[in-house]
Amino acid sequence: MARDWHLAALGPVDAADGPDGWRARGLTDAQGEVVRDEVGFDDYAPSLTETLARTRDDATLARVRLLAVAGGADDPTPDPARVLGYATADLPLRDNTRVAAVAVGVRPAARGRGLGTALHGALVERLRAAGRTVLMASTDHRDEPAPGPGTLGALSGTGRVRADAAGVRFAVRHGYGLEQVARYSALDLPAPAGHVEGLHAQAAAVAGEAYRVHAWDGPAPDRWLEDLAALFTRMSTDDPSAGFLLEEERWDPARVRRAEERLARAGRSLRTVAAEHVATGHLVAFTEITTRHDAPVAEQEDTLVLGEHRGRRLGMLVKTAQLLALPAARPHVRRIGTWNAEENGPMLAINVALGFRPAAASGEWQLVLDEPDEHDEHDGDVGDIEVAGTGRDAAGDA
């Protein structure tokens, strides 16, 4: 039977009302539909502003965006509903240059027509041509199942997913291995009166006068750029990464500034809290939260305590300082979401103590391309394979 859809590449889109603006809006809508179908809410679905920003390359990241569009390629109808599915890839340019973070998703009503398989196959071809041989992806789930039949365990040894989930079946069929399972946790605000204050006081008593807390909105003060670059470099190796074939990321002050600019282009506001080791004058711990204008949900991004400073409750110190200041800094925020690898016990313990509750889960997958992907000939449904590498809480001390 002839296809009633076609594949199209989406290049840089400068404005929502521009020639390709309807395609960007359709991509945003499709991603939102898939997230809602998989987990039942859309707290971390991208906004249109984020989608527009993510169509453009920058100095450290190249982008590929493919769409499955209803109708023929010569149909000029600018209707976002025509975007039935997507395949995306983010390609690091400074390090991890054989890696691609990939996503494939199809609107629930359009599944069963081979769109996911066609999109994945076209994406793999492009990535092979670009020399990318390690593909990383994630599947979204409403929860993590209990051990037992019908589940698939992560190669990390911690966490599992339901083997019959659409995204899991798609990933397995196309040769991906389940490296890791992550927990998505949510904290409703305001927190119970006195709870965060008590935890902060306990952490401050352990840290003592050896550490000083700093906080800022937006771009970091120049004085901290070198320290932040060092922290981000360590974040790339200290965050539990199971068997993923990742190299250390090399950060410098210019890269920190580019990351800040990327967030601003995506319509996100950044707030950072960090701990300075007074004796050396260097930052040794930090945590970040991003928000979108008046959206009620904040995203917990990176959190890290340098290994040589753990055991002083610095993870709890900076996170409670962030939460205590948030009502005044971001009065519209009513919920915070965060991801943690299930094997990251110390940071999970901090979040549980703060009152975060499990709200969803993800399977983290890897595919190493050695030979042409023979699985691409299969047809089938796909739920969502999302871009890996969202903000994570990394190593800390409870």
**Helices (H), ranges, the chain:** 21-39, 48-53, 115-129, 166-173, 195-207, 225-238, 253-265, 314-329, 345-354
Structural contact between residues 86 and 387, judged by C-beta atoms closer than 8 angstroms: no
Supply 236's token pair: 């790339």
Which mean pLDDT values do the consecutive 10-residue runs of the chain (398 residues) have? 88 94 98 97 95 94 97 95 98 97 98 97 97 97 95 95 97 97 96 96 98 98 98 92 94 97 96 98 98 93 96 97 96 96 94 97 96 44 37 44
**Coil vs helix vs strand at 160:** strand
Closest listed residue to residue 120, CA positions, set 389, 374, 390? 374
What are the distances in angstroms from CA 17 to CA 54, 82, 164?
A: 16, 17, 40
Instruction: Please give the pLDDT value at position 392.
Output: 45
Over its C-alpha atoms, the chain yields an Rg (Å, rounded) of 21
Instruction: Please give the pLDDT value at position 134.
Output: 98
How many whole angstroms separate alpha carbon 37 and alpha carbon 107?
9
Considering only the C-alpha atoms of the chain, give the largest distance between any 2 of them, rounded to a whole number of Å.
73
| Helical axes 314-329 vs 345-354, angle rounded to 10° | 40
What are the distances in angstroms from CA 106 to CA 110, 114, 206, 333?
A: 6, 10, 50, 30
> Which residue(s) pair with 187 in the sheet?
336
What are the distances in angstroms from CA 56 to CA 64, 68, 261?
A: 9, 19, 13
Residue 183's identity, in one-letter code, is R
Closest listed residue to residue 259, CA positions, set 270, 243, 244? 270
Q: Residues 31-56: pLDDT tens digits?
A: 999 999 999 999 999 999 999 999 99
**Coil vs helix vs strand at 52:** helix
Domains of the chain and CATH, by start:
5-182+362-387 (3.40.630.30), 187-359 (3.40.630.30)
Q: Residues 79-108: pLDDT tens digits?
A: 999 999 999 999 999 999 999 999 999 999
Instruction: Please give the pLDDT value at position 393.
Output: 54
Residue 211's identity, in one-letter code, is Y
Instruction: Please give the pLDDT value at position 196.
Output: 98
Closest listed residue to residue 363, CA positions, set 252, 189, 244? 244
What are the distances in angstroms from CA 206 to CA 202, 231, 288, 313, 352?
A: 7, 22, 22, 6, 19
Average predicted confidence (pLDDT) for the chain: 92
Q: How is 84-139 classified by DSSP, letter by letter?
A: EEEEEEEEESSS-TTEEEEEEEE-GGGTTSSHHHHHHHHHHHHHHHTT--EEEEEE
Structural contact between residues 116 and 381, judged by C-beta atoms closer than 8 angstroms: yes
Instruction: Please give the pLDDT value at position 240.
Output: 84
CB atoms within 10 A of CB 378: 13
Instruction: Please give the pLDDT value at position 204.
Output: 98
How many whole angstroms separate alpha carbon 390 and alpha carbon 128?
24
Instruction: Please give the pLDDT value at position 379.
Output: 39
Helices (H) and strands (E) in the chain, counts: 9, 15
CB atoms within 10 A of CB 266: 17
Instruction: Please give the pLDDT value at position 388.
Output: 30
